[in-house]
Amino acid sequence: MPETTSFAAALPEIILAAGAMGLLMLGAFGFSDGEKSDRAGWTAILILFAAGVALLGQTGTERVFNDAFISDPFARFVKLLVLAGSATAILLSFDDLRRAKADRYELPVLILLATVGMLMMVSAGDLLALYLGLELQSLALYVLAAFRRDDVRSSEAGMKYFVLGALSSGMLLYGASLLYGFSGTTSFAGLAQAASAPGAATNLGLIAGLVFLLVGLAFKISAVPFHMWTPDVYEGAPTPVTAFFAAAPKLAAMALLARVLFDGFGGLFVQWQKIVIFIAIASMLLGAFAAIGQTNIKRLMAYSSIGHVGFALVGVAAGSAAGIEGLLIYLAIYLVMTLGAFACILAMRRENGPVEEIDELAGLAETNLPMAFILAMLLLSLAGVPPLAGFFAKFYVFAAAMKAELYGLAIIGMLTSVVSLFYYLRIVKVMFFDDAKPGFSATAPYVRFVMIAAGLFVLLYAVYPAPLVEAATAAAKSLSL
């Protein structure tokens, strides 16, 4: 018989799921036609906020539903970031979609449901929970990518994302079934036992299953060599949706990856560390070099996000508490930087619609100095220039890598950071030194708010980093290392 108390641990998820369903009903029957999407958006933000409050009320570590759901400081740290990322994405979506005449109330509903999936991923303690969370999130994202269904590029993005995502889900499931076949269990705790049993290191099936699982997850975090979908999807999807893609789902998938590897396969650390190092190096290299030739700023952000996934994976590869701490701090700072950068991209809009080419930013410093300043700061932070927040993010993961004696990895990371600085600086140069193009039209207030908030965070993080670092330290302890 189920204990009724166990549901309390999943309260944020329950609030979100029930809220999404309620919002669906409100959207279909409740709101008047005129401002459906706005009201739905605000309601969704309210629901996300409520879930956040419920999340903050939780303490300690709870394992419920037969270990399928884990609520611990690690999960809560990431969940809070995910909720914030989703709420910000909704905030960014208001203006853009209205102008594109794609403002429908289903967008916030789908974002809410995707968020439920992400929270499930972060809390997963079982392969089934992992898959269900992942699929819930991905399915909602496929639809979101194609949300502007009359736009060819958006439909194409949705289609590509769907086909490749389904492929990766298939691989993941295949890996999961292999793992089940060889260990007889789907729970991470049971897998950990099987992975640390004598002879596990030579157990071909277990390792093959792990590799397939990693491949599936690498697809979702768009790590090289499973990144092909990212630029096209980022470019084709509506910009607020791209902002959402780049932020919350990445965080959830990274957290899931860390959870599976440490909680489930701690015993096979030597085996998977090599794979993670390879993926990290490949992602960092590709993120740095492929971005150089880009002219579309959304594509550039796609490659940038691939690179950042590589940097974050360095923390995982370190395999230490410091590494996880670095990963968590990295994810938090990356979230803010990305959302800020996308807020700036959303502000790139002229009378006849949004523009996405980097050249269109020419001379922004003359036409709109504050925006140019904030964007420059965010880009430099993404590159990791001290004393901006991005520098500290990289600092923590590289320090962890050095401590774990992964010198090669750390050095490659630093070198690729330098390379990436080149293309970020190129945009800064375009903004400050090229001949001015006509100014952008007025920015929507929420977008401006996100822009400024992100800019302030990036600038002032160095002044008072303690709360984030402390929270990350506490969170990192809950994974079994």
What separation, in Å, do the N-terminal and C-terminal C-alpha atoms of the chain show? 33
Rounded to an integer, what distance in angstroms lies between the CA atom of residue 448 and that of residue 442?
Answer: 10
**CB of residue 213 vs another protein: minimum separation in angstroms?**
13
16 vs 379, which CB is nearer to another protein?
Answer: 16
Stretch that binds another protein, among 52-60, 200-208, 287-295, 356-364 (CB under 8 A): 200-208
Tokens of 172: 């993941």
In the region spanning residues 46 to 85, those forming contacts with another protein, defined by CB under 8 A, are 64-66, 68-69
Quick one: 237 or 362, whose CB is closer to another protein?
237
Cα separation of 207 and 225, whole Å? Answer: 19
**Contact status, residue 330 vs residue 254, Cβ threshold 8 Å:** no
Residues numbered 292 to 321 that lie near another protein (CB under 8 A) are none
Structure tokens, 192: 């950990």
C-alpha 57/C-alpha 79 separation (Å) is 13
- State in angstroms the smallest separation of the CB of 234 from another protein: 19
How far is Cα 168 from Cα 176, in angstroms, rounded to an integer?
A: 12
Torsion of Cα atoms, 377 then 391 then 225 then 254, to 10°: -100
Q: Which stretch binds another protein (CB under 8 A): 92-100, 128-136, 254-262, 387-395?
A: 128-136
Distances (CA, A) of 259 to 69, 253, 324, 340, 395: 12, 10, 10, 28, 22
Residue 12: closest CA among 63, 59, 47, 64: 47
Closest to 332 measured CA to CA, from 248, 269, 261:
248
31 contributes a contact to another protein by CB under 8 A: no
Tell me how far, at minimum, the Cβ of 140 lies from another protein, in Å: 5
- Which of 310-346 are b and which e, b meaning 16 or more Cβ less than 10 Å from the residue's Cβ? bbbbbbbbbbbebbbbbbbbbbbbbbbbbbbbbbbbb
Question: Is the link from the previous residue into 387 a cis peptide, with omega within 30 of 0?
Answer: yes
Site string for another protein, 358-397 (x = CB under 8 A): ----------------------------------------
Q: Write down the least CB distance from residue 208 to another protein, Å.
A: 6
25 binds another protein (CB under 8 A): no
Q: Closest Cα partner for 372 from 317, 417, 432, 320? A: 432
Pick the piece of the chain touching another protein (CB under 8 A) from 92-100, 136-144, 252-260, 462-470: 136-144
The reply to whether 268 sits near another protein by the rule CB under 8 A is: no
- SS3 at position 27: helix
From candidates 149, 274, 350, 429, binder to another protein by CB under 8 A: 149
Residue among 185, 196, 441, 473 that touches another protein (CB under 8 A) = 185
State how far the Cα of 251 lies from the Cα of 214, in Å rounded to an integer: 16
Residue 146 interacting with another protein (CB under 8 A): yes
Q: Does 41 bind another protein (CB under 8 A)?
A: no
Q: Stretches 17-25, 88-96, 239-247, 307-315: which one binds another protein (CB under 8 A)?
A: 17-25
Q: Does 468 bind another protein (CB under 8 A)?
A: no
Indicate the residue type of 424: Y
Residues of this chain, 100-119, that bind another protein according to CB under 8 A: 104, 106, 109-110, 113-114, 116-117
The single-letter code of the amino acid at 184 is G
7 or 278: whose CB is closer to another protein?
Answer: 7
Instruction: Output 17 or 90, the one with its CB closest to another protein.
Output: 17
Please give the Cα distance from 53 to 394 (Å, whole number): 30
Q: How many residues bind another protein (CB under 8 A)?
A: 47
- Nearer to another protein (CB atom), residue 11 or residue 385: 11
**44 part of the interface to another protein, by CB under 8 A:** no
Residues at the interface with another protein (CB under 8 A):
1-2, 10, 17, 21, 24, 64-66, 68-69, 104, 106, 109-110, 113-114, 116-117, 120, 128-129, 132-133, 135-136, 139-140, 142-143, 146-147, 149, 158, 174, 178, 180-186, 203-205, 208
